[in-house]
Chains A and B, each alone.
Chain A
Amino acid sequence: MEMAEPLQSPRKATPLQVAKAVLSAFIGIRRRTAHERDAVTITPAQVIVAGLIGAAIFVLSLIMLVRYVTS
């Protein structure tokens, strides 16, 4: 049984908007209106790419913090 995603919109999200969505996902908080806008405009591919970049930034910033503390 297949079903089409009804949430398709011609407008694509800006990189900044995707970054904001992923960042708020890392903390675990998102405003409902912002989330509803995300659900319409952000594509899964954007989320995955932004998520990988976000995870890399997270790890790198922790490593930088560790370097700062241990230097």
Chain B
Amino acid sequence: MEAAHAHHGHEAHGHHPTGIMRWITTTNHKDIGTLYLLFALTMFFVGGVLALMLRLELFEPGMQFWRPEFFNQLTTMHGLIMVFGAIMPAFVGFANWQVPLMIGAPDMAFARMNNWSFWLLPPAAVLLVVSFFVPGGAIAAGWTLYAPLSTQMGPGTDLAIFAVHILGASSIMGSINIITTILNMRAPGMTLMKMPLFVWTWLITAYLLIAVMPVLAGAVTMVLTDRHFGTSFFNAAGGGDPVMFQHIFWFFGHPEVYIMILPGFGIISQIVPTFARKPLFGYSSMVYATASIAILSFMVWAHHMFTVGMPAAAQLFFMYATMLIAVPTGVKVFNWIATMWKGSMTFETPMLFACGFIFVFSMGGFTGLVLAITPVDIQLQDTYYVVAHFHYVLVAGSLFALFGGAYYWLPKWIGRMYDETLGKWHFWLSMVFFNVTFFPMHFTGLAGLPRRVPDYNMQFADFNMISTIGAFGFGLSQLIFVYLLWKAIGGAGEKATDKVWEGAQGLEWTLPSPPPYHTFETPPVVK
């Protein structure tokens, strides 16, 4: 593999605006990637503060801090902000930075649309945050926006609906950009089956996004017209059906789950071979398994609603289909472990996060299988067992993958090594406090503690106290990451080499660290 380096750095491109206008008008994939990542990090802390406010109330039984209505707003906005404001934009940020570098393209295919995709996000975030201050407060129907709650709540709901519209438009444009870039702008010789797995997972994720974001937009638009324009899509009194909202929402919502984890799989599939110093075991299996998971994700949505009432035959169908997803997911976990097998492994921070991901995500996967069994799910529906399950796959899954990726590529992006000791502290504290927070929720859930309720009976007091202590520990541990970033960007670390990691393979490592503003203006040749 041979890369033609760009011949000039920042100096040669003095014609682009500087200061704040550089960031507002930028069409450079690296700038936009940075913007996405900083936006996601900010929203991660906003959503995190909401989570800590929840845990504060739940520290002891009884009502101490918030009114129940406000507690419901906190749960809803924590979910919406983390899903749409933190996890999804963070992955798009990685795609912006890495996809062109990994396939040898000079930039994203639609550079101006790329700018717009990003700049739609801050207004949507403002709408969400401002909704706390309108009469009635923010939407409190849960992040799933279920009708008839969402058709009856105050103007905060309208703000959330518009925010979802804008975020959806941004995601669709981002996806179009990613698909077009990957399909049309690969360097000569970079056939589809030579692409790094991160690029593959993003290609498939982008198709998922284009397929399901319009479904979500349709669902919330129907809520909007039910609220203001006299329609009765989800109003039984007018001939509509509130359960239909759930079907439509989860037809979006389940692929969305995979939208939030497939790029994470991609990141892990880059990190593990690097630090095991072996090529990825079963590359083509990984591609096939990713495609398989994506297709199956459209056939399982009703497992989120086993208790709303559906024929036994439908319950069985969705139960079987859901359990079968474990097969391709198991193939992936097997392949990561087989990649490590007899490798000469080292455990720098990215690898720690990757190993943590594989371990803890697998636990989340197993509780998912438990919940897939209809009769079990009917017992566990809306308990803390579900909360434990999806935080195991979203925090220990998506978030750990994002942190792993951030540590992995940060030296490439900024040209400086981060503080490895701080990185290790960040990992271990996150890992321990994550489990302190969420593992007890399995027990409280099995014992019947319902989610989204601000008060609870005495028998749940100890586990809730442990969870709250863990949550504050986890939240504070994330400040280490901010300090580490600030230090590294400030130029404290040693200069990063081009390759950064001994075992790294791929086009991005042929570029200098940091890469010049414009890269691969002459496409590299991949042999």
Contact = CB atoms under 8 A, between A and B. Distances in A.
A65 to B, nearest CB: 7
Interface string A8-44: 0000000000000000111111101001000100000
B292 A2 contact: no
A18 B338 CA distance: 27
A27 B317 contact: no
Choose among A2, A3, A28 the residue with the greatest number of B CB atoms under 10 Å from its CB: A28
Contact of B317 (A25, A35, A51, A66): A66
B332 interface: yes
B523 A1 contact: yes
B62 interface: no
Contacts of B188: 3
B328 A66 contact: no
A28 B288 contact: yes
A30 B282 CA distance: 8
B284 A7 contact: no
B288 A1 contact: no
A38 B186 CA distance: 21
A63 interface: yes
Contacts of A3: 184, 186-188
B110 to A, nearest CB: 14
Given A7-B191, A59-B299, 8 more contacts: A3-B188, A6-B191, A24-B288, A25-B292, A27-B288, A28-B289, A30-B285, A58-B299
A29 B292 CA distance: 10
Minimum-distance CB pairs A-B, first 4 = A28-B289, A28-B328, A28-B331, A25-B288
Given A3-B186, A66-B317, A69-B316, A30 B191 contact: no
Nearest to A47: B291
B308 interface: no
Interface residues of B, number: 31
A26 to B, nearest CB: 5
Contacts of A5: 191
Interface residues of A, number: 27
Contacts of B292: 25-28
B320 A30 contact: no
B145 to A, nearest CB: 28
Contacts of B291: 25
Given A27-B292, A39-B193, A1 B328 contact: no
Main secondary structure of the interface of A (DSSP, over half): helix
B1 interface: no
A55 interface: yes
A27 B331 contact: yes
Nearest to A7: B191
Contacts of A30: 284-285, 288
Contacts of B299: 55, 58-59
Interface of A: 1-3, 5-7, 24-30, 32, 35, 39, 51, 55, 58-59, 62-63, 65-67, 69-70
Contacts of B288: 24-25, 27-30
Nearest to A1: B185
5 contacts: A28-B328, A28-B331, A35-B193, A55-B299, A62-B320
Choose among A5, A51, A62 the residue with the greatest number of B CB atoms under 10 Å from its CB: A62
Contacts of A28: 285, 288-289, 292-293, 327-328, 331-332
Interface string B463-490: 0000000000000000000000000000
Main secondary structure of the interface of B (DSSP, over half): helix
A67 B105 contact: no
A28 B293 CA distance: 9
Contact of A27 (B106, B193, B313, B328): B328
A21 to B, nearest CB: 9
Interface in B89-105: 105
B321 interface: yes
B295 interface: yes
B312 interface: yes
Interface in B174-208: 184-189, 191, 193
Contact of B316 (A26, A32, A70): A70
B99 to A, nearest CB: 14
A65 B288 CA distance: 25
Interface string B10-43: 0000000000000000000000000000000000
A66 B320 contact: yes
B408 to A, nearest CB: 25
Contacts of B186: 3
B331 A29 contact: yes
A1 B105 contact: yes
A39 B188 CA distance: 17
Interface string B314-342: 00110011000001100110000000000
Contacts of A7: 191
Contacts of A58: 299
A62 B317 CA distance: 6
Nearest to A59: B299
